[in-house]
Amino acid sequence: MDLFLVILAAFFMLLGIIGSFLPILPGPLTSWFGLLILHLTDAVPMNWTILIITLFFALVIWLLDYIIPAIGTKKFGGSKAGMIGTTLGLIIGLIFLGPFGIIVGPFAGAYIGELLNKSDSKTALKAAFGSFLGFLTSTFIKFIVAIIYLGLYIGKVWDYRSELF
């Protein structure tokens, strides 16, 4: 049973890293569930302090994920249409451009969203840049946290490898 839980936890860790880039999955929270599952094994002792601290950071990052792009868009003169365009652009960009869509999609989506909001081209470009910077900042923070959680997972698996395998 422990081996199954270790594999399931690894799956959640990988989903968390993928979720750092996709707005559909909450990356750090998904990775945190991987840590929780790992601590549910008989071999790895439950460490409530680590779990509570990592949950706190995962929740803060999850909330910031909604705030940071909005700050970037507002700072550069954008509107809600630009923020919605950023998210839609990311999804559409991933579907049609694959990983390259992570970069092009949010920018193009914010630009189109601002143009549809009756902004002139210069204002729309500025807001799209702000939204794009906010998206990149948020994604980078989520990715770093998910990688840290992966490191915690690997460390625990390594420390208790004789009991797990």
Question: For residue 6, what pLDDT band results from cuts at 50, 70 and 90?
Answer: very high
Distance (Å, whole) CA 54 – CA 59: 9
Amino acid present at 65? D
For residue 1, give both structure tokens. 């049973």
| pLDDT tens track for 50-85 | 999 999 999 999 988 878 877 777 788 788 888 888
